[in-house]
Every structure is written in structure tokens, then in C-alpha cells.
């Protein structure tokens, strides 16, 4: 934001840890911690919606579970930002809140098992509470890691971190799907969900312990660093960051018109097995793991806005594919394309926030960004998406052409694609890059995307790491 959140390279803020070795140690620990999060997400969060469907929840309940966490998470981040500003404590706060998130997986499973009449409501409540506790530490994490990661390496490091995280997420999700598939065939679905949520609990507890090992440099905020949410909104016509925030929020809102219902469409309408469902998610995760570091290096060199433009051009295509075919192989390819696009969009979004918001205001700026994003995401999913899913017809007649879908959901996917186009056209031209970068066109980036450059880079990175590991053992 031009007057209260624009990054200032001369500002004296929270002091970075002394010595590169301490920074490097925390950066390595952060990768391990992210990997434990991936196990939790792959075995826990990813199967919360299937758990609701298993409990015979309604579309509204599934939409609330899928969309509600974004706004609830934004409120949690406001509380987390307040804590960071008032106390300056980040490491302890990270460890405690993550531990609480882990422990909530116990009642998420046990209450529906022991009290079936309240099963759906209990599952939604405890899943949302887990999401709330998982979002509480996010401003503290952004603040702490912003102090630790060197600015010149930010895109490369976060891309590498996310690539490793999503590789672990892929393995965890694949394991979870196979485990649940085995239990389904043995007619022991309850056992499968219990094992998955138990693994998620243990993994997140490990993450809480890893946070206790992070360095926490002194962090001090002054009264001048505070700005209200109203001040944030008032700067919309002039602030580059606020325009960016509304662009991302509208795009995520348009996306969430369809997002809550992909799982329902796969499992209920297409009658996919849990194995097919897992393979589709794993395909997307693998694509994200492959492309994250590539997008990070592109952003370091060419700026993060151009990554948003290039990937944003792909996003409207993704939901429409689901309305055009029910072929499993084609939809698996769609998931790969989705992973390639969303990895760049989400990584560029986070890095743009690092670049655009000064360190002392980063926790609150992130919280307000998440609040706006959460509002539009909730509006898109729980309000508009759920309404469309229950009111749109399944059959359409355009002259001699007749199209009959398995349910109203494919039409919802088309609406989501149209709304994504509108978000691109209305707000993408309104904000600019905030730091010097080597110019490149979005079209050139998309051509490089199709060329296989990212796959070659990932294979080279893996080969280098494996070679180094073998040399050290030798």
C-alpha cells in the first residue's frame, strides 16, 4: 500500500538472526516443519470432505466446510497479527497453536463415531476449529520467515520449500487414498478414517515440536505500524497492494463457486472410487511439486506480477474442462494443468505480499488480505456456489443441441470459469510490479511452460541432490 504498507528497504524492523548459519538452520527446519504439515494435510484435511460425504452430509455442509475456513482463517489471522504486534513472540505462539490444531483431529473422528446423530455437525465444527487453529500462527510465520529468508533468495527458497512440501503431500495423500481404499473393500471405512486422522494428529504434533527449534529474532512494533481495516479499505483507489488484494480475492471467490463441489462430483456423480479420487489429487500435487521452484525462480528474475498474469490466463479454462468430459484420463490431465497453474499463482501471491508490505506491517497486512480474500471466497462458495448447485437445471436445450449432465454441478463449473475471466479483465490491469525486474511477456512464460523447462529443471535439481547425498556417503 502506497502510504502504510509499501516495502521500505531502509526501514529498521525486527532484527534478523545473527549469522548466516542460524538463518540456514531455521530455513532447513522450516522445510521439515512444512513436510509434517504436508502429512497432516494429505492424511487429514484432504479427507475431511470425503468424511462428510461418508456421513451423508448435504451440499450446504460440504460447501461450508470447503469455503468457511477461508473467512474463519482470516479472522484467526487477525487474532494472530494482534498477538504478534502486542507481544513480539512468534516461536512459542507457533508451537502452541499448531499443537492445538493437531489435538482437534481426535474429536473430529471420535464424536461422529460415538454420537452418530450429531456426526455431521460435529465433524464440520471440529474441522473448522482445526482450520482456525491452523491459521492463527500464519501472520507469525510470515513475520518470522520474512526476517530469516534473504530477499534475493525468497522466490527460489519458497519454491524449493513448497516443492518438497507438495512431494510429501503427494505421498501422504496417495498413502491415505490407498489405505482408505483397502478399508473400503474390507467394509471398514471407520477404521480407515480413524487411521488417517490419527496420522494427521501425530504429524502436526511433530511440527509443533519443530517450531520450538526455530530462531525467533527480536520483533518490536510501534504505534505507527498499526492501521485499521477501514484505513486499508479507504486506500483501494490509490493503493497498489489493496488493488492486488481485491484481484486475488475476486479470483478466489470465482474459483470457490465451483471448488466445494469437485469432490462431490467425483465421488457422488462420477462414482469414482477412493483410489481414483486420490490419483486425481496426487496428479495435481505432483504437478505443483514440479512447477513450484520453477515459478519461484521466474518470479525472482521477472517479478511476481507477470507470473500472476500468465497463470491467471489458465485458471478460467480449468473448471470448464469438467463440464466437457467425464473421461477419467482427460480429467487426470486437467489436474496436472491445474497443479501447474495454481502453483505459480499461489506462490506469486505470497511472494508479492512479501515484496509489497513492509516487514513491521506484514502480519497485519497479511491478516487484512486474508480477511478480504475470505469474504469473497465464502461469498462464492457458500452463497453463490451452493445456490447454483441447488437451483441450476441438469439439462439444457439450445435449438437442436441438447446437453444433459449427471447433475447441476457441471453448469456451476462453467459459471466459475466465466467469473474468473471477469476477475482477470476487471482488476488484473489495476496493479503493478513493486520491485525492479527483467521484463518478459506472459505469452513467453506460457510457451516456456509447455516446453518442458520446468520438468528438466526439477530432474536436474533432484539429480544434483541425490548425487550430493551419494558423494557424502561415499
Q: CA nearest 180: which of 202, 161, 196, 164? A: 196
Per the model's pLDDT, the better-predicted residue between 229 and 248 turns out to be 248
In a domain, 5, yes or no: no
pLDDT at 474: 54
* Neighbour tally for 198: CB within 10 Å: 15
Return the SS3 of 403: strand
Q: What is the mean pLDDT of residues 375-393?
A: 84
Is the model's pLDDT at 195 over the cut of 90?
yes
In a domain, 137, yes or no: yes
In a domain, 367, yes or no: yes
Q: Model-level pTM?
A: 0.74
Is the model's pLDDT at 465 over the cut of 70?
no
What's the rounded Cα separation, in Å, for the pair 325 and 331?
Answer: 8
pLDDT confidence bin for 49, thresholds 50/70/90: confident
Task: Choose from 131-145, 287-301, 317-331 the range with maximum mean pLDDT.
Answer: 317-331
In a domain, 6, yes or no: no
In a domain, 84, yes or no: yes
What is the pLDDT of the chain when averaged over all its residues? 83
The number of domains in the chain is 1
pLDDT at 458: 60
pLDDT at 17: 43
Is the model's pLDDT at 88 over the cut of 80?
no
Q: What is the mean pLDDT of residues 367-394?
A: 84
Query: Quick one: what percent of the chain has pLDDT higher than 70?
Result: 89
Per the model's pLDDT, the better-predicted residue between 7 and 232 turns out to be 232
In a domain, 282, yes or no: yes
Integer-rounded Cα radius of gyration of the chain:
22
Q: What is the pLDDT of residues 320-373, one digit of tens each?
A: 999 999 999 999 999 999 999 999 999 999 889 888 887 777 778 888 888 888
pLDDT at 31: 92
pLDDT at 424: 92
Q: At what angle do helices 362-378 and 240-256 cross, to 10 degrees?
A: 30
The CATH number covering residue 416 comes to 1.20.1250.20
Domain ranges, residue 236: 20-217+232-468
pLDDT confidence bin for 383, thresholds 50/70/90: confident
Q: What is the pLDDT of residues 97-127, one digit of tens each?
A: 999 999 999 999 888 888 888 888 888 899 9
For residue 348, give every residue at least 6 positions away whose Cβ sits within 8 Å of its Cβ, in sequence order, or none: 295, 299, 304, 305, 307, 308, 311
In a domain, 2, yes or no: no
Tell me the CB-side half-sphere exposure of residue 224, using CA atoms within 13 A. 5
Distances (CA, A) of 418 to 171, 216, 343, 461: 34, 45, 21, 38
pLDDT at 7: 41
pLDDT at 461: 52
Distances (CA, A) of 55 to 46, 107, 189, 190, 275: 16, 15, 11, 10, 19
Q: What is the pLDDT of residues 399-448, one digit of tens each?
A: 777 877 788 899 999 999 999 999 999 988 888 888 888 888 988 888 88
pLDDT confidence bin for 314, thresholds 50/70/90: very high
In a domain, 13, yes or no: no
Q: What is the pLDDT of residues 55-85, one digit of tens each?
A: 888 777 877 787 677 778 888 988 888 888 7
pLDDT confidence bin for 464, thresholds 50/70/90: low
Q: CA nearest 195: which of 183, 208, 204? A: 183
pLDDT at 308: 94
The three cell numbers of residue 459 are 530432474
pLDDT at 225: 63
Distances (CA, A) of 423 to 72, 242, 399, 431: 23, 15, 31, 13
Amino acid at each position: 500500500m502506497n502510504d502504510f504498507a509499501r516495502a521500505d528497504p531502509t526501514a529498521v524492523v525486527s532484527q534478523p538472526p545473527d549469522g548466516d548459519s542460524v538463518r540456514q538452520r531455521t530455513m532447513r527446519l522450516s522445510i521439515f516443519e512444512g513436510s509434517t504439515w504436508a502429512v497432516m494435510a494429505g492424511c487429514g484435511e484432504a479427507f475431511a470432505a470425503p468424511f462428510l460425504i461418508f456421513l451423508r452430509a448435504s451440499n450446504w455442509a460440504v460447501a461450508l466446510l470447503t469455503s468457511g475456513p477461508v473467512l474463519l482463517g482470516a479472522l484467526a489471522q487477525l487474532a494472530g497479527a494482534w498477538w504478534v504486534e502486542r507481544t513480539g513472540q512468534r516461536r512459542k505462539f507457533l508451537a502452541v497453536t499448531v499443537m492445538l490444531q493437531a489435538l482437534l483431529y481426535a474429536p473430529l473422528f471420535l464424536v461422529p463415531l460415538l454420537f452418530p446423530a450429531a456426526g455431521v455437525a460435529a465433524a464440520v465444527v471440529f474441522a473448522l476449529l482445526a482450520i482456525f487453529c491452523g491459521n492463527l500462527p500464519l501472520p507469525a510465520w510470515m513475520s518470522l520467515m520474512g526476517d530469516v529468508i534473504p530477499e534475493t533468495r525468497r522466490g527460489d527458497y519458497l519454491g524449493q520449500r513448497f516443492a518438497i512440501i507438495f512431494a510429501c503431500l503427494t505421498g501422504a495423500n496417495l498413502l491415505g487414498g490407498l489405505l482408505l481404499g483397502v478399508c473400503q473393500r474390507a467394509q471398514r471405512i471407520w477404521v480407515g478414517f480413524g487411521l488417517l486422522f490419527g496420522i494427521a494428529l501425530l504429524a502436526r504434533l511433530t511440527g509443533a515440536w519443530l517450531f520450538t527449534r526455530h530462531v525467533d529474532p527480536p520483533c518490536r512494533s510501534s504505534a505507527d505500524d498499526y492501521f485499521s481495516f477501514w484505513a486499508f479499505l479507504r486506500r483501494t483507489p490509490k493503493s497498489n497492494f489493496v488493488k492486488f488484494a481485491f484481484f486475488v480475492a475476486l479470483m478466489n471467490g470465482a474459483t470457490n463457486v465451483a471448488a466445494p463441489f469437485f469432490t462431490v462430483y467425483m465421488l457422488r456423480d462420477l462414482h469414482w472410487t477412493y483410489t481414483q479420487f486420490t490419483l486425481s489429487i496426487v496428479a495435481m500435487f505432483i504437478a505443483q511439486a514440479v512447477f513450484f521452484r520453477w515459478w519461484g525462480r521466474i518470479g525472482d528474475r521477472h517479478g511476481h506480477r507477470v507470473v500472476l498474469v500468465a497463470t491467471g490466463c489458465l485458471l478460467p479454462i480449468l473448471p470448464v474442462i469438467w463440464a466437457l468430459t467425464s473421461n477419467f484420463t482427460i480429467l487426470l490431465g486437467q489436474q496436472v494443468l491445474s497443479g501447474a497453474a495454481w502453483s505459480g499463482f499461489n506462490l506469486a501471491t505470497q511472494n508479492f505480499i512479501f515484496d509489497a508490505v513492509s516487514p513491521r506491517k506484514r502480519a497485519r497486512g497479511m491478516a487484512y488480505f486474508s480477511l478480504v480474500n475470505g469474504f469473497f471466497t465464502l461469498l462464492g462458495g457458500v452463497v453463490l456456489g451452493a445456490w447454483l448447485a441447488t437451483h441450476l437445471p441438469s439439462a439444457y436445450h439450445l435449438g437442436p443441441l441438447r446437453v444433459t449432465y449427471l447433475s447441476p454441478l457441471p453448469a456451476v463449473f462453467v459459471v466459475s470459469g466465466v467469473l474468473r475471466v471477469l476477475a482477470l479483465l476487471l482488476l488484473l490491469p489495476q496493479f503493478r510490479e513493486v520491485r525492479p525486474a527483467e521484463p518478459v511477456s506472459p505469452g513467453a512464460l506460457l510457451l516456456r511452460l509447455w516446453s518442458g523447462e520446468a520438468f528438466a529443471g526439477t530432474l536436474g535439481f533432484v539429480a544434483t541432490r541425490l548425487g550430493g547425498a551419494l558423494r557424502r556417503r561415499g
